[in-house]
Amino acid sequence: MNNKEFIAALAKKRGMSSSETAKQVDALLEVMVERLKENDQITVSNFGVFEVKMRKERISVNPKTGQRMLIPPKLVPAFRPSTRLKDKFK
């Protein structure tokens, strides 16, 4: 299911037009991203947790050349499904 299909399904459910639904989805995502940027944790009950994790810096070695690279630390968005959701798909 790609983005288009998803919007269509959501629009059908909500009884709204696709374009309007797309706008609202964008708005929702914007709010979520804004919170994530502030290092917040977003818990959605019965779905999971959106959070930001920090990956520490590390040294990776290119196996071909043996060249060692220092990969800088970075912040990564992450999603943790709730236990109920996990069990559902198990």
Task: Show contacts with other proteins in window 19-58 (CB under 8 A).
Answer: 24-33, 35-48, 52, 54, 56-57
C-beta separation of 73 from 55 below 8 A: yes
CB 63, min distance to other proteins, A: 15
In sequence order, what are the residues at sequence separation of 6 or more whose Cβ sits closer than 8 angstroms to the Cβ of residue 53?
Answer: 75, 76, 77, 78
Total of chain residues touching other proteins, rule CB under 8 A: 56
List phi, psi (to 5°) of 65. Answer: -100, -15
Which position among 59, 63, 64, 83 is part of the footprint of other proteins (CB under 8 A)?
Answer: 59
Residue 64 touches other proteins, criterion: CB under 8 A: no
